[in-house]
Amino acid sequence: MTATATPTGLKHVPVITAPEAAALVQSGQTLLVGGFGMTGNPVHLVHALAETDVRDLTYVANNVGEAGLSGGRLLRNGQLRKAIGSFFTSNREAVAAAQEGRLEVQLIPQGSLAEALRAGGAGIGGFYTPTAAGTVIAGDADVRVLNGREMVFVPALRGDVAFVRAWRADEAGNLQYRLTEQNFNRAMATAADLVVAEVEEIVPVGTIPPEGVHTPGLYVDYLVQATLTADALGSSADVKGSAKKVDEARMHMARRALAELRRGDVVNLGIGIPTLVADLITPEHGVNLHTENGMLGVGPAPEQGGALDYPVNAGKIPVTALPGASYFDSADSFGMIRGGHVDVAVMGGLQVDAHANLANWAVPGKPLLGVGGAMDLASGARRLIVLMTHTDPDGTPKVVPECTLPLTSRGAVSMIITDRAVFEFRDGTLTLTELMPGATLDEVRAGTGAPFVEAL
């Protein structure tokens, strides 16, 4: 089937079934799959592909679905040869496949992945970014100093076929996304030779107002109508499926981090302990929360409901939207981050050293499979606050003279808040400025590996 003209002169995009869409994919091709976790994921298209004998695919997505869902089903079937993405650890079976050599993986920071896809769709060969400079992720990439900053070259990404998910399409293929479902879908819809959009409903031309079109129909070759159910949303299906580790020490750290935020700040909260800060923020604080999967104006988690009802944050947890909130795609989101428009990033840490270097994404003996957006945020936010326990469970200090774990960023940390102390980097010097409730100076001295100045 080929596109025909509508009465308005716009093309009329053929509507096909999911099995017909799957038949468009050939063994050995590169497949782009939209979504962030299972939000905005074209799960019906991918599951139809899992019913075919197509093999040796290169699968490009933020992650390989969840165990048995979307790309996770292709993985179980042995249909994937390689996966390119930023966070494979959300699927334990992908981790096992990589460790056992059944799946080749290429790890790219989340913002670089989004921009590489956008560049691929725009006919740009690649770009230089400060993200990942000085880290193992940079590998043997070309590195240059531009505008006084070390930057890594990232080549553009394109695919043979893209499967994307939108909320609505009109008969001309114009797409409208819902809430945080833009994520990687918008860029991927531009970056493949053939694009199939899975949509909740197909409406007549003119139903979607021009200002409501997120992806113009010129990019879309086929439409598939498929109704999304909670079963397709995996861990995001209900907020009750998410578990936060909450104790008094962590809450002390979250409250101390909140005290650093100022009215009007745009703030990004990482996963783990930093997510607790969100539960403490009220409208009176005047803080605007940003989540890298495409939302500004994040509110608290709802008491019940899931991604069919609410947007999701970077932890794939359903959240609410405050008045004045906005949605955008992953490429725009990381443009905000790299462009210095995020005032504060609050992140977890595995190690911070005396030179303000952060390591928070990889440990020895484990595969390098999950960097997410940490490198982009650490190098792009105007101020970086790290929340972490003062020591490992065995008492090993996490504030160290030199990071021994793979770096997330160099020289970017402004403040460290642990369960025992608060440190700041003043004129480049690690400085103890405060003791946390119940902690003693002797405990802090004994549990800190790096030299520091005391300014209590």
Q: Model confidence over 101-135: pLDDT tens digits?
A: 999 999 999 999 999 999 999 999 999 999 999 99
Q: What is the pLDDT of residue 242?
A: 60
The answer to whether the CB of 350 falls within 8 A of the CB of 387 is no
Maximum average pLDDT range among 20-29, 82-91, 238-247, 315-324: 20-29
- The CA distance from 31 to 61, in Å, is 9
Distance of CA 430 to the CA centre of its chain: 30
pLDDT at 244 over 90: no
- The CA distance from 287 to 301, in Å, is 16
**Mean pLDDT (whole number) for 220-231:** 94
Angle between helices 110-122 and 330-338 (to 10 degrees): 120
Average pLDDT, the chain: 94
SS3 of 423, please?
strand
Query: Residues of 164-174 as b/e, b for ≥16 C-beta within 10 angstroms?
Result: bbbbbbbbbbb
252 contact partners, CB below 8 Å, separation of at least 6: 419, 436, 437
- Our answer to whether residue 100 is catalytic in this structure is no
- The CA distance from 454 to 440, in Å, is 13
369 contact partners, CB below 8 Å, separation of at least 6: 87, 88, 89, 94, 95, 98, 105, 107
> If pLDDT is split at 50, 70 and 90, which confidence band does 454 have?
very high
Q: What is the pLDDT of residue 97?
A: 95
CA distances from 347 to 305, 342, 377, 408, 412 (A): 27, 13, 9, 11, 12
Model confidence pLDDT, tens digit, residues 39-98: 999 999 999 999 999 999 999 999 999 999 999 999 999 999 999 999 998 899 999 999
**Mean pLDDT (whole number) for 20-48:** 97
Give the residue with greater pLDDT, 300 vs 350.
350
Which of 67, 65, 79, 96 has the alpha carbon at shortest distance from 27? Answer: 79
Q: What is the pLDDT of residue 363?
A: 80
Level-2 CATH architecture, domain 18-108+157-236: 3-Layer(aba) Sandwich (3.40)
- Does this model's pTM top 0.85? yes
> If pLDDT is split at 50, 70 and 90, which confidence band does 356 have?
very high
Q: What residues does each domain of the chain span? A: 18-108+157-236, 248-454
Q: What is the pLDDT of residue 265?
A: 97
Query: What DSSP line would sit under 237-296, residue for residue?
Result: S-GGG------HHHHHHHHHHHTT--TT-EEEE-SSTTHHHHTT--GGG--EEEETTTEE
Domain 248-454 belongs in CATH node 3.30.460.80: no
Q: Which of the following is catalytic: 292, 303, 424, 454?
A: 292
282 contact partners, CB below 8 Å, separation of at least 6: none
Length of the chain: 456
- Identify the weakest region by mean pLDDT among 277-286, 334-343, 375-384: 277-286
- The CA distance from 20 to 194, in Å, is 13
Which of 388, 451, 441 has the alpha carbon at shortest distance from 417? Answer: 388
- The CA distance from 93 to 22, in Å, is 23
Q: What is the pLDDT of residue 283?
A: 84
Q: What is the pLDDT of residue 241?
A: 64
- The CA distance from 9 to 119, in Å, is 29
- The CA distance from 377 to 15, in Å, is 40
**Mean pLDDT (whole number) for 420-445:** 97
Q: What is the pLDDT of residue 2?
A: 65
Q: What is the pLDDT of residue 6?
A: 63
CA distances from 151 to 8, 357, 378, 381, 417 (A): 47, 17, 14, 16, 29
Q: What is the pLDDT of residue 243?
A: 57
Distance of CA 182 to the CA centre of its chain: 12
> If pLDDT is split at 50, 70 and 90, which confidence band does 372 have?
very high
> If pLDDT is split at 50, 70 and 90, which confidence band does 367 have?
confident
Same CATH topology for 18-108+157-236 and 248-454: the answer is yes
The answer to whether the CB of 388 falls within 8 A of the CB of 377 is no
The dihedral built from the CA positions of residue 313, 314, 316 and 317, taken in this order, carries a sign that is negative
Q: Looking at the DSSP assignment, which residues form a beta bridge with residue 329?
A: 183
Give the residue with greater pLDDT, 80 vs 315.
80
Q: What is the pLDDT of residue 331?
A: 97
**Mean pLDDT (whole number) for 144-152:** 95
Query: Residues of 251-282 as b/e, b for ≥16 C-beta within 10 angstroms?
Result: ebbbebbbebbeeebbbbbbbbbbbbbbebbe
pLDDT at 7 over 80: no
